[in-house]
Structure 1
Amino acid sequence: MKTFNSSNFKLGILGGGQLGKMLLQPAMNYGVDVSILDPDPASPCSFFCKNFHLGSFNDYNTVYNFGRHLDLITIEIENVNVEALKRLEAEGVTVYPQPHIIELIQDKGLQKDFYKQHNIPTSPYLKIQNREELKYYQEKFPAVQKLRKAGYDGRGVFKINSIEDLPKSFNEPSILEDLIDFDKEIAVLVARNATGEIRTFDVVEMEFDPKANLVELLFTPAKIDEQIEAKAKEIATDVVEKLKIVGLLAVEMFVTKTGEVLVNELAPRPHNSGHHTIEACITSQYEQHLRAILNLPLGSTELRQPAVMVNLLGEDDFVGEAKYIGINEISKLDGVYLHLYGKKFTKPFRKMGHVTIIDHNLDTAFEKAKIVKDTFKIQA
C-alpha cells in the first residue's frame, strides 16, 4: 500500500452522491487528489470534483479502468462491482472497505448468516428463493420480507401481514424476518483503521417517515439508559472487530420493549445517521472515514452539543426542478445548519438535503427542528 504522505496520493470514490460530496470537504482539507465515478452527469459531486468520471460503478471494465491508476479506492454506496475491486486489490490498489466485506454486506442473507456465525444478536430469519416458498411459512406472519440484494433507502422491504399479502410480495431471493416489537431504532457509527484502532460515535435515535420508510429525523444523545447505550456500542464494536473492516461502519439496531439490542443492517461507509457529526462532533464521520482509510490516527468522537438532524425530502406530489420554500425563515434560527445536496430535480421523498440543529438543550433543539419541518419545503 502506498501511504498518504504527499500531494501525489490519489484517492478514488465510487459514487458521486451527497455522501461523496460531503467526503470531498475533508479530502480537500488534507490536500488529497480525488477522482469520482458516477453514472449521473448531474450528481452532487459532478459540480465540485475536477476529476469526475461519468460511468457505471456496477460495470466491471468501467470500475477497473477507473481504479487502476489510483492508490486507494473507497465507496459511498454499496451497490458496486466487487469483482473489479478484487482484481484491483490483487494488482496492488488498496480498497477500503475491503471488497469481500462489501460483497457480504451487499447480500442481506450473507449479513444475517454472519451475525449468526459470530453470535451477534439479530432477529430470527429464513432465506427464501421466491414468492412460492412464502406460503409454507404462514405461521410466521406477520413478518418482514427483505430483498437480499439491491434494497436501498427503504426500498426492498415489505411487511407481510397475512397470506392475502403474498401477491404483492417479492418474487426474488430474500430473507423473511420475524417482526420485532421494538421500542426504538438506533444506530452507532464505528471507525477502524488498518492498525486496528477503533472509535465509536454516540448512539443516535431515529424516527422514520411511515410512508417512505426513510429516516425523517434523528437525535443524539438518544433517549436510552446507560446500559442500553453501552450494550449498543459494545455490539457495534464487536461487529467491526469480527469483520476487520477498514473505514466507517454504520450499525443500525432495534431496541426491543424488553431491553434487547438487535442488529438490523450494516452500511460500510458514511451514513445518513451521521450527518449531524459535521457540526455536532469534534470529528465528523466524513473526516473519520478518511482518517481510517488513510490509516491515520482516528479523531475524537466527542459530542460538542446535543443535536437533531432533519432529512429534507422532496414533497409528495411534486416532480421537477427543485424550488426551496422557507430558507429565509430557518436561516434566522441560531444553531441551524442547512445542507442542500445540489440535486437539480426533486420527486416525492427524494433526499434533497438535511438540516442539523445543535443546542445546549436537546428540547430546544427539538423545538427548532419542528420549525424547520413545518417551514422548509422542497417543491417543484
Structure 2
Amino acid sequence: MAGFYQDFTVGILGGGQLGRMLIQAATDWNVDIHILDPAENAPCAHLAKEFTQGALTDFDTVYEFGKKCDLITIEIENVNTQALQKLSDEGVKVFPQPKVISLIQDKRLQKQFYLEKGIPTAPFVLVENADDVRKHSYRLPTVNKLGRAGYDGRGVQVLRTEEDLAKGFDDPGILEDLIDFDKEISVIVARNEHREVSTFPAVEMAFHPTANLVEFLFSPAQIEDTIANQASEIAKKVITELDMVGLLAVEMFVTKDGQVLVNEVAPRPHNSGHQTIEANITSQYHQHLRSILGLPLGHTASRVPSAMVNLLGEDGHTGMARVEGLEEALAIPGVYVHLYGKKTTKPFRKMGHVTVVDTDEANLRKTARKVKDLIRIIA
C-alpha cells in the first residue's frame, strides 16, 4: 500500500467527466493520474498529471501510453483491447481485464454470456442485418440493439409495428423482448484482486422520453427488500462470473411480476453512481480506485436519501456553453452542483449533474424536479 503514495501512476483511457471525478478521488491518496483522450479540450485535460491526446482505439497510441503507467483503467468501453492485452502480458496491470472489456463491448456476447451463466435477462435472438430483423416480425414488439458501438442511448430502436421494422439496424445486433417493467434500477458492484465483493444499494432511474438518457435518479430505489436483495445477488454473480476486478454498473429491469432481469452492464464508474459522492459512506470513484489498487473495499451504505439530476444540453442549443439558474439552485439546502468543464454544448450532451440530499423523500423528489427546471445549459 505504501507504494501508492509515491511515484505510482494510474493511466485512464478516456478523459471525460468520469475521469475527471476519478482524478478528484485519486488526489486524496496522492495517486498520479495520466489521461489519454482524443479531444484536446477534454474535461480532464488540465487536471491530469499528464495528458496525452490520441485515439483510444488505435493500437500503437494505447500501447505507448500504457507503457508509462503502473496500472491502466478505463472510463469508456470503446478502447483497443488488443493493446491492453499486450500491456497486461508484459506486466502492466489492466483493470478491468481486457477480456472483460472485449466481452462487454459487444452486446451479442454479453447476452450470450448471461444465458450461459444462468443470469436472468430478457429473451433475445441474434440478427445480422436489417433483412434479418424483418424476418423476425413475429417478435414484435421488440427492441433492436446494435451489437457494437451503441452508447448513451444510441444504437437502440424500439420496434412496435410492422412499419417500425424499417428502422432496424443494418448491422449485427440483437432483438430483445420488450419488457413490461415496473422500474429500471441499477446496482453498482465492486470486486478487488482478493475476490472481495461489495454492492451499493440499488437506485431507481427515470429516463428522458426522447434522448434515452437518465434524467433523474433516486436512491435508495423504492422497491421491496426481497427485490433489492435479489438485485444485489445478481450483480455479485455477474462480476464474479466475469472474474472481473474493478467497478461494474449492472442495469436491470424489475418486472411487474417481481422478476429482476439484467439489461446491460458498464465496467467502470457510471451515471447511476454519481450521487454516492455526497450521499454514501464511500463514493463509487473511491470504490473503483480501491478495487483496482487492491485495497479493502469501502462501506457502501447510504448516509441519506438522495436524488441525481443529469444536466443535459438544451434542445436547440449548440455552441459555447452558458449555465442559467445556477445561483438559484445553489441557494437551496442540500443541493450539490457538479459541472464537467465542457466548453461547448449541444442537445442532450451530458454537461453536469446535481445531487440533492434530504431526509424527507417527498421533499427530495420535489427539490430534484425544481432543480431540473431551474438549471439550463444553453448556448
- Given the two structures, how large is their TM-score scaled by the length of structure 2? 0.99
Q: Is contact 2:280-2:303 (8 Å) kept?
A: yes
Establish whether residue 338 from structure 1 lines up as the match of residue 337 from structure 2.
yes
C-alpha separation between the residues in 2 aligned to 1:124 and 1:159? Answer: 15
SS of match in other structure, 1:288: helix
Find the counterpart in structure 1 of residue 163 from structure 2.
Answer: 164
Give the whole-Å Cα distance in 2 for the aligned partners of 1:161 and 1:150. 23
Distance 2:265 2:303 in 1: 26
Following superposition, the deviation at residue 244 of structure 1 comes to: 1.3
Task: Tell me which residue corresponds to 2:350.
Answer: 351
- The amino acid that maps onto 2:67 is R
Relative to 1, partners in 2 of residues 1:66 and 1:3: Cα closer, same or farther, differing over 3 Å?
farther
- Is structure 2 residue 273 aligned with structure 1 residue 274? yes
Preserved contact between residue 127 and residue 176 of structure 1 (Cα < 8 Å): yes
Structure 1 position 3, deviation (Å): 8.4
Give the letter aligned to residue 242 of structure 1: E
State yes or no: 1:303 paired with 2:302: yes
* Separation in 2, partners of 1:194, 1:253: 26
Which secondary structure state, in structure 1, belongs to the residue aligned with residue 291 of structure 2? Answer: helix
Letter in 2 for 1:80: V
TM-score in terms of structure 1 length: 0.98
Distance 1:210 1:69 in 2: 43
Task: Kindly provide the amino acid, as one letter, of the partner of residue 194 in structure 1.
Answer: E
Q: Give secondary structure in 1 for the equivalent of 2:44.
A: helix
Structure 2 Cα separation of the partners of residues 237 and 50 of structure 1? 34
What is the DSSP-based 3-state SS (H/G/I as helix, E as strand, rest coil) of the residue aligned with 1:348? Answer: coil
User: In the alignment, is the contact (CA less than 8 A) between 2:186 and 2:251 conserved in 1?
Assistant: yes
Q: Aligned residue for 1:58?
A: 57
Alpha-carbon offset, residue 50 of structure 1 = 3.2
- State, as a whole percentage, how many aligned pairs show the same letter: 57
Q: Secondary structure at the match of 1:47?
A: coil
1:213-224 correspondence runs (5 A): 213-224=212-223
**Counterpart for residue 76 of structure 2:** 77
Offset at residue 68 of structure 1 (A): 1.0
**Number of residue pairs matched?**
379
| Alignment partner, residue 176 of structure 1 | 175
- What is the one-letter code of the residue matched to 1:314? G
* CA distance in 2: counterparts of 1:119 and 1:78, whole angstroms: 24
| Superposition map of 1:33-48 within 5 A | 33-48=32-47
Distance 1:235 1:3 in 2: 35
**Does the CA-based 8 Å contact 2:4-2:29 persist in structure 1?**
no
Query: Deviation at 1:302?
Result: 1.2
Say whether residues 1:132 and 2:131 are aligned partners: yes
- Hey, what's the Cα distance between the residues in 1 that align with 2:288 and 2:246? 5
Counterpart CA distance in 1 for 2:198 and 2:133 is 41
Q: Secondary structure at the match of 1:44?
A: coil
Q: 2: distance between equivalents of 1:124 and 1:10?
A: 43
Deviation of the 1:371 alpha carbon: 1.2
8 Å contact kept, 1:145–1:177: yes
**CA offsets per residue over residues 172-230 of structure 1, 9 Å max, x none?**
00000011111100000000000001111000000000110000000011111111111
What's 2:143 paired with? Answer: 144
Q: Following the alignment from structure 1 to structure 2, what is the Cα–Cα distance between the partners of residues 228 and 5?
A: 39
Partner of 1:189: 188
Inter-partner Cα distance in structure 2 for 1:54 and 1:79: 16
SS at match of 2:278: helix
SS at match of 1:316: coil
**In 2, are the aligned partners of 1:3 and 1:294 still within 8 Å (CA)?**
no
Q: Is 1:323 the counterpart of 2:317 in the alignment?
A: no
Q: Report SS of the residue matched to 1:28.
A: helix
Name the amino acid aligned to 2:344.
Answer: F
- Contact map agreement 2:32 2:49 (CA 8 A) in 1: no
Amino acid at match of 1:77: I
Residue of structure 1 in register with 2:224 after alignment: 225
Distance in 1, matches of 2:360 and 2:239, equals: 32
* 1:168, distance to aligned residue in structure 2 (A): 2.1
Any residues of structure 2 matched to 1:231-242 within 5 Å, and which? 231-242=230-241
1:53 Cα deviation from its structure 2 partner:
0.4
2: CA distance, partners of 1:191 / 1:87:
25
**Partner of 2:20 in structure 1?**
21
Deviation at 1:167, TM superposition (A): 2.4
The answer to whether the Cα contact below 8 Å between 2:4 and 2:31 also exists between their aligned partners in 1 is no
Contact 1:4 1:294 in 2 (8 A): no
Q: CA deviation at 1:354?
A: 0.2
SS at match of 1:317: coil
Question: How far off its partner does 1:162 sit?
Answer: 2.2
How much does 1:165 deviate?
1.8
Alignment correspondent of 2:86: 87
- State the shift of 1:93 in Å: 0.4
Let me know the Cα RMSD of the aligned residues: 1.0
Contact 1:190 1:237 in 2 (8 A): yes
Structure 1 window deviating more from structure 2 (43-52 vs 287-296): it is 43-52
Q: CA deviation at 1:366?
A: 1.1
Measure, in 1, the Cα distance between the counterparts of 2:154 and 2:226.
Answer: 32
Match of 1:198 in 2: 197
Q: SS where residue 216 of structure 2 aligns?
A: strand
Report the residue type matching 1:131 in the other structure: A
CA contact (8 A) 1:108 1:148 kept: yes
Distance 2:83 2:304 in 1: 42
Letter in 1 for 2:315: D
The DSSP-based 3-state class of the residue aligned with 1:302 is coil
CA distance in 2, matches of 1:103, 1:361: 43
Aligned residue type for 2:125: L
SS at match of 1:270: coil
